[in-house]
Amino acid sequence: MTADELAIGPMPSTEGLAAPERPIVVEHRQQLMLLLREAAQLEHAIMCQYLFAASSMKEGTGEGLTSVQAEAVGQWRSTLFQVAREEMLHLALVQNLLTDIGAGPMLARPNIPTPPDSFPADVQIALIPFGERALRHFLFLERPEGMPFEDVDGLPAGGHARPLVGDEDIVPLPQHYATVGHLYRAIDIGFAWLTAKLGEDRLFAGPPSAQATEEHFGWPKLIPVVDLDSAHRAVSTIVEQGEGARGDWKDAHFGRFMQVFDELRAVRQVDPDFEPARPVVPGTVRPQVGTDLPVISDPATAQVADLFNVVNEIVLLTMTRFFAHTDETSEQLATLADLPVRLMFQAIRPLGLLLTRLPFGPSHPGATGAPTFELFYSSGYLLPNRHAAWLLLEERLRQTAEFARRIEEAHGIGVGGIAKGLDALAAHLAAQANGGAG
């Protein structure tokens, strides 16, 4: 499904909230795991949407913006990157919730646009350049539970909740949820119900050492989950940052997007021709089954998109290793936590901005490329052995650095600095792999 086919309705009423959607009933550990894995995929995909939109935005007066417009666009881009960082925090919190009930980490996701059966019909994920359409979509996803959007095409009527699986069943069934908050309310209630049913010691069976904390990632709100109280606090952090505490959404993602939307419309009232985004076309490097997204036809741009995707792959591999580590030392765990953050700032962000300056290719004259966020492998393919996993991570970093150098040599595209950064991270990883100081 293309961005133009997304059903994005008019702005919501913000004067009050309707009653929450009917609850999803969780009666078994496997149901809770299923919902948490879906939440992880959803947080991951939503983060990609925000990074895509931020990367599509113009920079400075050299792209036809006035100084006032350039300042506004810069502030909006900062908001999107900040919200994307918070989505990364949410993704880490969901991993904590998973690992503490004995499940493995979930850092894979469908490619975007997501296939129709990935999430409920109300929840559609697509890569959309920054503008009113993208903001309407973000507001729809982040809206507080019970807040109506009028005349949104294609939304199915709500039905009665039913258990994912009853006592006579063993395999959990897919469940409909209308908002992100609706999903997390089910997760929160599920933790409470299963604690009462199984007991806290039995439900929270995962090792505390598998938990990500502020000490590892530097996020004060990264709560280690060890019992029902900490599980409630982790879920509350995600919901309140996204849609806000019930009835108080102004400082949450929803409220911040609403502010950006209002500011964008105000700038366009002064200048109806104002366009904050580059002429970005969402595309792919390779054809994807089930989507009509065009394939990037400029060879150099396609290679930079591949570079972006491989760096993203390393981020996911490293995070997977962190949450499924075995005998790493505290210093080695700190390295695994630091590497994804460094890659986000030193490679993902600059490559995303670079891609939206490069030509899409002859198939779309005048259009630019953009990050494709394609995943070609599962994020859990590393052997659960410290020596092998660290060796493969280092090897992948060095391969990616060499690929970046080849791009610069062949096409004159300035990614040599990124290659040097990847080499430095590989060297640090190699030193840490043997317990040394890197």
Please write down the HEC assignment for all residues of the chain.
Answer: CCHHHCCCCCCCCCCCCCCCCCCCECCCHHHHHHHHHHHHHHHHHHHHHHHHHHHCECCCHHHCCCHHHHHHHHHHHHHHHHHHHHHHHHHHHHHHHHHHCCCCCCCCCCCCCCCCCCCCCCCCCCCCCCCHHHHHHHHHHHCCCCCCCCCCCCCCCCCCCCECCCCCCCCCCCCCCCCHHHHHHHHHHHHHHHHHHHCHHHHCCCCHHHCCCHHHHCCCCCCCCCCHHHHHHHHHHHHHHHCCECCECCCCHHHHHHHHHHHHHHHHHHCCCCCCECCECCCECCCCCCCCCCECCCHHHHHHHHHHHHHHHHHHHHHHHHHCCCCCCHHHHHHHHHHHHHHHHHHHHHHHHHHCCCECCCCCCCCECCCCCCCCCCCCCCCCCHHHHHHHHHHHHHHHHHHHHHHHHHHCCCCHHHHHHHHHHHHHHHHHHCCCCC
Q: Which residue has the higher pLDDT, 119 or 161?
A: 119
Instruction: Tell me the per-residue pLDDT of 279-298, one tens digit each, with 9 for 90 and over.
Output: 999 999 998 877 789 999 99
Task: Answer left, alpha or beta for residue 146, where phi above 0 means left and psi between -120 and 50 means alpha.
Answer: left
Q: Where are the domains of the chain?
A: 1-277, 288-438
Mean pLDDT of the 251-267 span: 92
pLDDT value of residue 199: 95
Q: Which residue has the higher pLDDT, 153 or 365?
A: 365
Q: How many CB atoms lie within 10 A of CB 435?
A: 10
pLDDT value of residue 146: 66
pLDDT value of residue 147: 65
Percentage of the chain exceeding pLDDT 90: 65
Would you say residue 16 has pLDDT above 50?
A: no
- Of 52-66, 146-160, 165-179, 371-385, the poorest mean pLDDT is in 146-160
Mean pLDDT of the 144-153 span: 52
| Distance in angstroms (rounded) separating the CA atoms of residues 434 and 327 | 12
Question: Pick from 326, 330, 264, 314: which is nearest to 425 by CA?
Answer: 314
Domains 1-277 and 288-438 agree in fold: yes
Q: How many CB atoms lie within 10 A of CB 413?
A: 18
Instruction: Tell me the per-residue pLDDT of 302-351, one tens digit each, with 9 for 90 and over.
Output: 999 999 999 999 999 999 999 999 999 999 999 999 999 999 999 999 99
pLDDT value of residue 239: 87
| Distance in angstroms (rounded) separating the CA atoms of residues 61 and 53 | 19
Mean pLDDT of the 234-243 span: 86
Task: Please report where in the chains the tokens 């962190």 appear, as a residue.
Answer: 322
Would you say residue 197 has pLDDT above 50?
A: yes
| Distance in angstroms (rounded) separating the CA atoms of residues 366 and 359 | 7
Read off the pLDDT band of 384 (50, 70, 90).
confident
pLDDT value of residue 292: 84
pLDDT value of residue 89: 93
Residues present in the chain in total:
438
CA distance to 12, 42, 143, 146, 147, per residue, from 247 (Å): 14, 23, 11, 10, 10
| Distance in angstroms (rounded) separating the CA atoms of residues 332 and 339 | 11
The average confidence (pLDDT) of the chain is 85
1-277, what's its fold? Answer: Ferritin (1.20.1260)
pLDDT value of residue 174: 52
Contacts of 279 (CB under 8 A, 6+ apart): 366, 367, 368
pLDDT value of residue 201: 94
Read off the pLDDT band of 227 (50, 70, 90).
very high
| Distance in angstroms (rounded) separating the CA atoms of residues 177 and 184 | 10
288-438, what's its fold? Answer: Ferritin (1.20.1260)
Would you say residue 150 has pLDDT above 60?
A: no
Percentage of the chain exceeding pLDDT 70: 83
**134 near 53, Cβ under 8 Å?**
yes
Q: 326 burial class (0-12, 13-18, 19+ CB within 10 angstroms)? A: exposed
Q: Tokens in use for 376?
A: 């070609």
Read off the pLDDT band of 437 (50, 70, 90).
very low
Q: Tokens in use for 88?
A: 């990364």
Q: 334 burial class (0-12, 13-18, 19+ CB within 10 angstroms)? A: middle
Mean pLDDT of the 144-167 span: 41
